Amino acid sequence: MTEVALDSSRPPPADAAEPAGVDGFKVLLGFGGMVLGQFMATLDIQIVASSLAQIQAGVGASADEISWVQTIYLLAEVVVIPLTAYLTKMWGTRPVYVWAAGAFIVTSIMTGLSNSFETMILTRALQGLAAGAMIPSVFATAMTVFPPERRVTANVIMGLIVTLAPTVGPTLGGHITELLSWRWLFFINIPPGLAVIFLVGRYGGFDKGDPRLAKGIDWLGVVTMTAFLLSTQFVIEEGSKDGWFQDDGILWLTVLACVTGVVFVWRQLTYRQPIVSLKPFGDRNFTLGSLMMFVSGASLFGGMFVLPLYLAQIMNYSSAEVGTHMIAGGLTMFVTAPLAGRLVRRVDARVAMVLGFSLAAYGMGQGARVNVNWDYWDFAVMQSVRGVGIMVAMIASQQLTVSTLPGHLMKDAAGLVNLVRNVGGAIGLAIISTLLTHQTAVHMMDLTSIVSAGDAASQTMVNGFSAIMQEGASADPDGAARKAFFGLLHRNAAMLAFGDSFVLLAAGCALTALLAVFVKPAPAELHATDGWGH
């Protein structure tokens, strides 16, 4: 039998198009179910962050192993995100999303029932696969089902999910673990998961699949993409812990990522039916927008990583205090999201991007002056300015990234945008982790050189520590005093390194603001025939 070869990025057949006269209220119900699913999938990345110690005790994991509870979820999620476009084109959005939500519920239950570390890693990987299938479909649906005038509102909602879910995750997870147990971090997914299945299953008939895509699947593309993404994500996540290329495993995984990455791109550009269409990158706005989404992902996740770390390590705040300080940024983004949406509607989106990234850069730049004398409101102002900027920049970037793409490329574009943002976040975390380690050592050398040069103020401080130790009946007051003094030096060195990290994040946002100059303005009517009632 002759194999039927199709271009997965071409427009769907006539019977796959959405019929005219779509009921707007039903569309909102179906889309709302998808948004809830995306919130669950995104929330579960960070909901375990504040409860890792309890999970570690519950499944008998070591201190080095427990970080894999988060890492394996992200690895599985990253692999599925670009595949989702092909699956939804082949089977349709509704069945893929309903099956993904059902799998998410089942794997959440399995994870909550885990009694060993190995079992939890397996179930978390399966949970990540299900989550990855729910995340990009929301963006594609918003850009193809809603009429042009409503797409900014949809972008506001998606921006809130992307920013708010990771922000509130650790705080929510900590309270759930304290009130119930760590197992309920996963059992809590059951009620909203059932709501997702009902809403999307009942009202999510936005499109129809093309079963002919099942013939001629690019299995080589699937294998090389999986190897490329898994090895890349692992190197990014674990490289800084293992000394990067000083570790043989990291070195060979980097080689594997380079080889499989090149083969994957070549395969997708030459195969008659690519598993991931790279055609959206032929559009200038999409390419520039993807770069901006990369930076916004790095800024978003980088900011959420470095600030809690500073509060815990330098300010010695408890988990509850860290959560209280972090929630200020999330609440600001939640409150200002509708205003950001209106701004994007009323002004040129390029202006909104410049304004947004500039605000984010200014907010991050304030962290250059961070010190132990900062109070709650100092951190709240920094987070609020950065949060408003990221929200405006993300909404405008999402809008302009796909503004000049044809409708039949939206599903491919959605997977690529989400993948770029997640990889940007992972790379941002890796760079910041490495920078903190390196700059702490650099600043420590600078500070100790001052002390070794015979600084009088330092000697006075050591003498003061020694007097305190003598009063405390220390066996070796001079040794204890030197230890306390060098501990203080290390704290100051680490504080300066955190300031350098904030400066780096600010510089990235500032440079990205300049890219908006090269983006084409969005057309007045974007795919007007894609909305309901056409």
Residues 211 and 341 in one domain: no
In a domain, 98, yes or no: yes
| Average pLDDT of the residues of the chain | 78
In a domain, 184, yes or no: yes
pLDDT of residue 15: 38
Q: 390: Cβ–Cβ under 8 A, 6 or more apart, which residues?
A: 163, 296, 299, 300, 303, 333, 356, 360
Residue type at 312?
Answer: A
Q: Given 180, 196, 216, which residue is the final one in a domain?
A: 216
What is the DSSP track for 15-29? GGSPPSS--HHHHHH
Residues 133 and 225 in one domain: no
Residues 212 and 314 in one domain: no
Site of tokens 């066996």: 475
Using alpha carbons, select from 509, 143, 140, 157 the residue that is nearest to residue 333: 157
pLDDT of residue 403: 73
Residues 222 and 203 in one domain: no
In a domain, 100, yes or no: yes
Annotate 151-166 with b (16+ C-beta within 10 A) or e (fewer): bbbbbbbbbbbbbbbb
In a domain, 417, yes or no: yes
pLDDT of residue 107: 95
DSSP state of 49: G
Residues 326 and 401 in one domain: yes
Residue 295 to residues 18, 290, 401, 479, Cα–Cα distance (Å): 35, 9, 14, 47
What's the total number of domains in the chain? Answer: 3
In a domain, 532, yes or no: no
Residue type at 370?
Answer: V
Rounded distance, CA 24 to CA 413, Å?
24
Q: Is the pLDDT of residue 160 over 50?
A: yes
319 token code pair: 């988990």
pTM, 2 dp: 0.72
Residues 77 and 224 in one domain: no
Q: Domain with 72 in it: what CATH number?
A: 1.20.1250.20
Residues 269 and 337 in one domain: no
Residues 332 and 395 in one domain: yes
In a domain, 155, yes or no: no
367 token code pair: 């962290």
Q: Is the pLDDT of residue 32 over 50?
A: yes
Q: How many CA atoms lie within 13 A of 333 on its CB side?
A: 33
Residues 245 and 122 in one domain: no
In a domain, 157, yes or no: no
Annotate 364-380 with b (16+ C-beta within 10 A) or e (fewer): bbbbeebeeebeeeebb
Sign of CA dihedral 251, 255, 261, 262: positive
Do residues 170 and 49 lie in contact, with contact meaning Cβ atoms separated by under 8 Å?
A: yes
> Torsions phi, psi of 315, nearest 5?
-90, -10
Residues 245 and 200 in one domain: no
Using alpha carbons, select from 228, 305, 227 the residue that is nearest to residue 261: 228
Average pLDDT (464-487) is 58
Using alpha carbons, select from 429, 427, 349, 424 the residue that is nearest to residue 393: 349
Residue 464: give the domain boundaries: 282-524
Rounded distance, CA 423 to CA 106, Å?
27
Residues 347 and 244 in one domain: no
Residue type at 255?
Answer: V
| Cα 49 to the center of its chain, rounded Å | 14
pLDDT bin (cut points 50, 70, 90) of residue 469 is low
Sign of CA dihedral 154, 22, 277, 199: positive
Using alpha carbons, select from 162, 137, 149, 156 the residue that is nearest to residue 24: 149
In a domain, 529, yes or no: no
Q: Is the pLDDT of residue 119 over 50?
A: yes
Residues 369-395 have pLDDT tens digits of 888 888 888 888 888 888 888 888 877
Rounded distance, CA 3 to CA 5, Å?
6
